[in-house]
Structure 1
Amino acid sequence: MQEIISKVNGVSLWHLVHGQGIPIVLLHGGPGAYDYLEPVAELLDDGCFQIIRYEQRGSWRSEKTGPYDIETFIEDLEQLRIHLGLKNWVVCGHSWGASLALAYSTKYHANVEALIYISGTGVNPAWHADYRTNRLNRMSPTDREEYIYLRSVIETMKGEEQDHTKERLRELSLRTDLFNQDNFNKLPRIHGEFVNNEVNQKVGSEYNEYFENEKFKKAISLNKIPSLFIHGETDPRPYNYVRELASNLQNCEFALIPNAGHYPWLDNSDALGKQINEFLSRHVLK
């Protein structure tokens, strides 16, 4: 396994490449998180894939230089492919990385062998309200009471107090992402931080406009790339919107992972690995 920092699209991006076979790139979530997808890489059949993992600009070991916007992140990924000398690859993303994979595959479909979309949100704006309701419902009564209270007072806070409150709200929210909340300490973070907040806010600010407009929806409906959309059954981000999106694509399968939340490899890795490897066997390794 070789870790590399290379100049790609004007910034230094940390990445690693290991294995041999068909290239597959793994896209972490956030935006502004870091490469936490080693457990997903370990689920792939040995000897069949050249696995590429990288950290998006603004993330831990990559350069913290903007612009932080969706088009730039798409172009970073394309320039990484060119830098690595790859003609085509499988694109696999989780959470925000699933959205990035979808956007990249729509713009650069000729370079994509297959798309794997794990724990995304779909493109129907109705998911936001349902997610907020599901998130509250998955909290314990004590956590729910604290969450509602902190949300009601956070705007009256400043400086360090407000920063601490934001982190506590994030922790309460993240706990609902897990089917088994005992796995909370296994959630990805660096030095106690879950994301680079600047990246998260800037990319997040244009997320709805980019992914939920009719132009983008029409573009993805024309995409014929073999695709697998995977979702944990208890993820508070409702799976019905992801299934709706999958049904509107021309060559797409949807798989629901039982007893799993937003990070299905933490809750039910065997079922996740089975779905991914069977899909790749049918559409990529044939």
Structure 2
Amino acid sequence: MDVTGVDTTGAGETVLTDDGVRLWAARTGGDAGEPVILCHGGPGLWDTLEEPAALLPGNPAYRWDQRGPGRSQRSGPYSTDRPVADLEAVRRHFGLERVTLLGHSWGARPALAYAPAHPARVGGLNYVSGTGIDDDSTWHPAHKEAFHRRLGERPGRRERRQELRERGDGRTDAEDREYAVLQWSVDFTDHDRAEAHAEAMATPWFGVNYACDAAIGAELKRPSATHGLRERCAALRVPVLRVPVLIVDGEDDIRPRWSVDSLEKALPDVTRTTPAGAGHLPWTEDPEGFRAAVGAFPGGVRHRWGSR
């Protein structure tokens, strides 16, 4: 870690944002097809999308750590708008004229906001495991209930999480990682492999930026957080602004998938696919299905697992 807070040990490049913050970004993949920029989940986390990037069929893939966590500079401001501007900085840094976006979980939100803001730059949007455009209060109680139910399906996990939670800032770095692994394990449907999958997500471990998570989380709880998103999605009906969207929902994601229904209705050019037996990270539990659906989008035949 250098004096600016940027991790210099990871392979990649430094992207300078419009307000001088340094972001980590890396290019992988081949040279065939439209470049894809991937936006990871969080907030307060780092890029964990190396696996889905590798499933793209030869496309150049660009991954980056949002400001605050991971290998990027630990510097705000932290808000729902900043990742949109920072995504534009990544595009400009690599000199990409037109891109496909793949946003996962929280990262689906800035990707969705970027598309109507820069429609000429976006060839398509893969909206993976997002939570839609309605107020978070409409779906979060159902998510919380499902989280605790799945966490309690294996003995001792709920109790250990609560113990670590109560330690708060007193957790060691190792305990903080353990706490995250317990949290993330519920995002997988296979009980026998869930914690191994979550361990892979936590490797390498950069530490959660709780200040970033809290700042953006508080903003997302406000009723105004999604204000204008519905209108901006509807604006994509104008032919010159039209951006095709693929919505990917894991059938067993603990975030209720009906939360995305209003987004689907608001978009003019949308395909929705629901992989059976997959949770919040569908590429992990159905890699071939994910490759077929996302790799063929946009354009060409859009393969589906069992579309609605």
Q: Per the shorter chain, which TM-score range?
A: 0.7 to 0.9
Q: 1:160 to 1:238 in 2, by over 3 A?
A: same
For the 8 Å contact 2:26–2:64, the answer to whether it is kept is yes
Q: How does 1:37-186 map to 2 (within 5 A)?
A: 37-46=49-58, 49-125=59-135, 126-141=138-153, 142-143=155-156, 146=159, 154=166, 159-160=169-170, 170-181=180-191, 182-186=193-197
Q: Secondary structure at the match of 1:117?
A: strand
Distance 1:15 1:192, change over 3 A: closer
1:26–1:93 contact (8 Å) kept in structure 2? yes
- 2:217 match: 204
Contact 2:181–2:202 (Cα < 8 Å) also in 1:
no
User: Is 2:18 aligned against 1:6?
Assistant: no
What do residues 60-90 of structure 1 show as CA deviations (whole Å, max 9, x unaligned)?
Answer: 1111111111222211111221222222111
Q: 1:124 to 1:174 in 2, by over 3 A?
A: same
Taking a change above 3 Å as real, the CA distance of residues 82 and 162 of structure 1, as seen in their structure-2 partners, is: closer
**C-alpha deviations, 1:206-230, integer Å up to 9, x for none?**
1243875442222222223100010
Compared with structure 1, are the counterparts of its residues 146 and 190 closer, same or farther at alpha carbon in structure 2 (3 Å cutoff)? Answer: same
- Higher percent of residues as strand: 1
Percent of aligned pairs with the same amino acid = 29
The 3-state SS of whatever aligns with 2:124 is strand
The alpha-carbon deviation at position 112 of structure 1 amounts to 1.0
- For 2:263, the aligned partner's letter is L
Give the partner amino acid of 2:60.
Q
Aligned CA-pair RMSD: 2.8
Displacement of 1:148: 9.2
Quick one: which of 271, 285, 290 aligns to 1:253?
A: 271
Where 1:22 maps in the other structure, the secondary structure is: coil
Q: Which moved more, 1:248-257 or 1:136-145?
A: 136-145
Deviates more, 1:161-170 or 1:113-122: 161-170
Length, aligned pairs only: 278
Correspondence for 2:4: none
CA distance 1:72–1:145, shift in 2 (3 Å): closer
3-state SS of 1:280 partner? coil
Indicate conservation of the 8 Å contact 1:150/1:169, yes or no.
no
State which drifts further: 133-142 or 253-262.
133-142
Distance, in Å, in 1 between the alignment partners of 2:62 and 2:197 is 22
Further displaced range: 56-65 or 193-202 = 193-202
Contact conserved, 1:117 with 1:229, CA < 8 A, in 2?
yes
Question: Structure 1 residues 139, 217: closer, same or farther in 2, change over 3 A?
Answer: same
Aligned partners of 2:177 and 2:205 also within 8 Å: no
TM-score scaled by length of structure 1: 0.85
- Alignment check: 8 A CA contact 1:8 1:83 kept: no
1:278 offset after TM fit, Å? Answer: 2.7
Q: Give the 3-state SS of the residue equivalent to 2:187 in structure 1.
A: coil
Mapped to 2, the partners of 1:34 and 1:17 lie a distance apart of 16
CA distance in 2, matches of 1:14, 1:159: 27
Quick one: distance in 2 between partners of 1:231 and 1:90? 18
1:144, distance to aligned residue in structure 2 (A): 7.3
Q: Secondary structure at the match of 2:96?
A: coil
Secondary structure of 2:255's partner? Answer: coil
Cα deviation code 1:9-50 (max 9, x no counterpart):
21111111232241110111111212211111111112xx22
The structural deviation recorded for 1:114 is 0.5
Deviates more, 1:212-221 or 1:83-92: 212-221
Do the aligned residues in 1 keep the contact of 2:126 with 2:245 (CA within 8 Å)?
yes
The secondary structure found in structure 1 opposite 2:231 is helix
Q: Alpha carbons of 1:260 and 1:191: their partners in 2 closer, same or farther (altered >3 Å)?
A: same
* 1:220 corresponds to: 233
CA deviation map 1:119-151 (0-9, x unaligned): 111122311111112212223354576279659
Q: TM-score, normalised by structure 2?
A: 0.80
